[in-house]
Amino acid sequence: MQIFRHIILAVALAAASFGALAAAPASARAALGKPDLEAIKAATTDEHSQYYYPTLLRAFLRNDTTMTSVEYQYFYYGTLFQEDFDPYRKPADPERLEALAPLLSKQDLSPSERSELLDYTMQAVEEDPVNLRQLNNRIFAYEQRGSTNLARIWQNKLNHLLLVIAASGTGADMENAWIVVSPQHEYDFLNLKGIKATQHRYEPPHYDYIEVEHADKQHAGYYFNIEELLKQYFLKHPSELKE
């Protein structure tokens, strides 16, 4: 896993995202806690459940703010149990993404550039609904367009997903590792927290350890639990276990 080649998360939006997360009541994080992945699997694959994944997905893609923190937890981790789950998937339309990359460092986008970025980010989110990076880029495009209400709606979606990850642990050690559904989320999560990743290493049996610059003066790095991520990936790609 490579560190970002491009800084594609606007600094102001990153501060807003994790500022809102830090301001979230401790009770909200505690109420979520570490996810019960077995319960989430059962509920998100049961069409009669209020947490059925397609139902949550439709709610997420609507421009409203009615989803609860618990629904966001089931939605985020429910991604693991979908037939098309692939934590190592290539980004949507890579060539188009590369062409759009320079826009993300501009202070002012033209109307056509804003439309192009909004169109791409929607395509990316429809393919991968918990794509933290493209959710953030969509907020940036709405801010550039002056669509304050839409920016706030999508900021709310992103903040809830960040809260879900933050509530899964502290990242301080293996026992309290944050649980993610994509290795890329390790970098995006830390980036939105204002921490720069410097090195990555895999630590058996199922942890990623990300070394960071000492911006927070507390930890040299953070742990991420990728046990379920790997389990579900190899269930769908058993041939890779032999490689």
What mean pLDDT is reported for the chain?
Answer: 87
Q: Check pLDDT > 70 for residue 109.
A: yes
88 pLDDT band (50/70/90 cuts)?
very high
Q: Check pLDDT > 90 for residue 128.
A: yes
Query: 116 versus 24: which is more confidently predicted?
Result: 116
- Answer whether 139's CB lies under 8 Å from 158's CB: yes
pLDDT digits (tens, 9 = 90+) for 143-201: 999 999 999 999 999 999 999 999 999 999 999 999 999 999 999 999 988 888 999 99
Ranges of each domain in the chain: 11-242
Q: What is the pLDDT of residue 242?
A: 62
Mean pLDDT of 11-23: 45
Nearest to 120 by CA among 196, 8, 15: 8
241 pLDDT band (50/70/90 cuts)?
confident
State yes or no: cis peptide before 205, omega within 30 of 0.
yes
Q: Check pLDDT > 50 for residue 238.
A: yes
**Using the 8-state DSSP alphabet, how is residue 173 labeled?**
S
Q: What is the pLDDT of residue 29?
A: 63
How far is residue 223 from each of residues 1, 35, 123, 165, measured CA to CA in Å?
15, 16, 31, 12
